[in-house]
Structure 1
Amino acid sequence: MAKEIWDALAMKRALTRITYEIIEHNKGTEDLVLVGIKTRGVYLAQRIHDRIQKLEGVDVPIGQLDITLYRDDRHDASLKQDPVVNNADLGVDVSNKHVVLVDDVLFTGRTIRAAMDAIMDAGRPSSIAVAVLVDRGHRELPIRADFVGKNIPTSSHEQVAVHVEEIDQKDSIELKPLS
């Protein structure tokens, strides 16, 4: 049975706090680029973008990234050959920019590692930071988030499910047993 950890209001507050932290860390919005990791990270990045626009009056560039071909835990070796991600796929130029990768859950670190590889193939940013709604631990790689909505300690027998209105018709975070 799923247990709701956060409701829509708590998610909204966390994203607002993360937005302020990103602006403060970057000392404004100059050369800032948001890149959402598909799927739910794209929607969270858009919400952060909208808050920055409302707070700072700046339309920060926003892109999206599908890291499927960059995953090192894919079992089909034929899909790992020469994956290409370019600026057209991202939708933004990341060269000499301060990139903030946005995702819903940070778990093993492999998604973020794959996203950093894809970003580096697209250009050479000045810096890369990571913003996640949930950090659940269990890292397999030395990856950490710079901006975290909530740390949720979990067991390996649990799953964190982030629901976003755009896909799931509700905003919430649930902890549930693995199926």
Structure 2
Amino acid sequence: MTLPNPAELLPRMARELRQSLDQRGIEQPHFIGIRSGGVWVAQALLEQLGLDVPLGTLDVSFYRDDFTQNGLHPQVRPSELPFEIEGQHLVLIDDVLMSGRTIRAALNELFDYGRPASVTLVSLLDLNARELPIHADVLGATLALAANERVKLSGPTPLNLELQTLSAS
């Protein structure tokens, strides 16, 4: 399987995001990336959009519904939101949308900071393996993977996608 090149997806994603925000009359959205791949994608999108605005970061580790099963990731860092959430238009960005559970966790965390006016979801990839009814508003590409395959984004510069095969257990 040939994976898409993020550098080729990002210009179209930036155009679609700008168009979506313009259609909804959103002039000053706040951008939030989910650690770590979502932060990298957010930085690249902001560059494509020509915006120099503060970028919020979320680490949703404590909000995951599988936290008690999987434990704490060793590189957990605090979330940083350098702007108000209450009443604001947010653009939430992640690298890979799979089950929808990371996005659910991110929304739960954001609502602990306040009630946003809207949340626009942007994802580089959709693996079409949804367990929750969550879909991206702006999407780079959709992939169908085998059950033992995963995609890993490395970055931040350049962004690169790698196909990984999980070992049988």
Q: Shorter-normalised TM-score: what interval?
A: 0.7 to 0.9
Structure 1 residue runs of 4 or more that deviate by more than 6 Å after TM superposition: none
| Aligned-pair identity (%) | 36
**Counterparts in 2 of 1:77 and 1:36: CA distance versus 1, 3 Å:** closer
Query: What's the secondary structure of 2:128's corresponding residue?
Result: coil
Residue 29 of structure 2 aligns with an amino acid whose one-letter code is: L
**Counterparts in 2 of 1:45 and 1:14: CA distance versus 1, 3 Å:** same
Between Structure 1 and Structure 2, the one with more helix by share is: 1
The match for 1:139 among 126, 130, 142 is 130
Q: Contact 1:18–1:149 at 8 Å: present in 2 too?
A: yes
User: RMSD in angstroms over aligned alpha carbons?
Assistant: 2.3
**Which residue does 1:65 correspond to in 2?**
58
**Which residue does 2:163 correspond to in 1?**
175
Q: Contact 2:125–2:141 at 8 Å: present in 1 too?
A: yes
Query: What's the secondary structure of 2:17's corresponding residue?
Result: helix
**Would you say 1:122 and 2:120 are equivalent positions?**
no
**Which residue does 1:82 correspond to in 2?**
none
Query: What's the secondary structure of 2:68's corresponding residue?
Result: coil
**Which residue does 1:25 correspond to in 2?**
20
Instruction: Give CA deviations for 1:116-146 in whole Å, capped at 9, x if unaligned.
Output: 1111111211111111111001111111111
**Which residue does 2:68 correspond to in 1?**
75
- Residue segments in structure 2 that go unaligned for 5+ positions in a row: 73-77
- Taking structure 2 as the reference length, what is the TM-score of the superposition? 0.84
- Residue segments in structure 1 that go unaligned for 5+ positions in a row: 80-84
Q: Contact 1:32–1:60 at 8 Å: present in 2 too?
A: no
Instruction: Give CA deviations for 1:60-111 in whole Å, capped at 9, x if unaligned.
Output: 44210010000001126997xxxxx8xx732222222221111110000000
Cα distance in 1 for partners of 2:155, 2:91 equals 20
Cα distance in 2 for partners of 1:165, 1:100 equals 19
Q: Contact 2:40–2:156 at 8 Å: present in 1 too?
A: no
Cα distance in 2 for partners of 1:29, 1:50 equals 19
What is the count of residue pairs matched by the alignment? 160
**Counterparts in 2 of 1:155 and 1:96: CA distance versus 1, 3 Å:** same
**Distance apart, 1:177 and its partner CA:** 1.4
- Taking structure 1 as the reference length, what is the TM-score of the superposition? 0.80
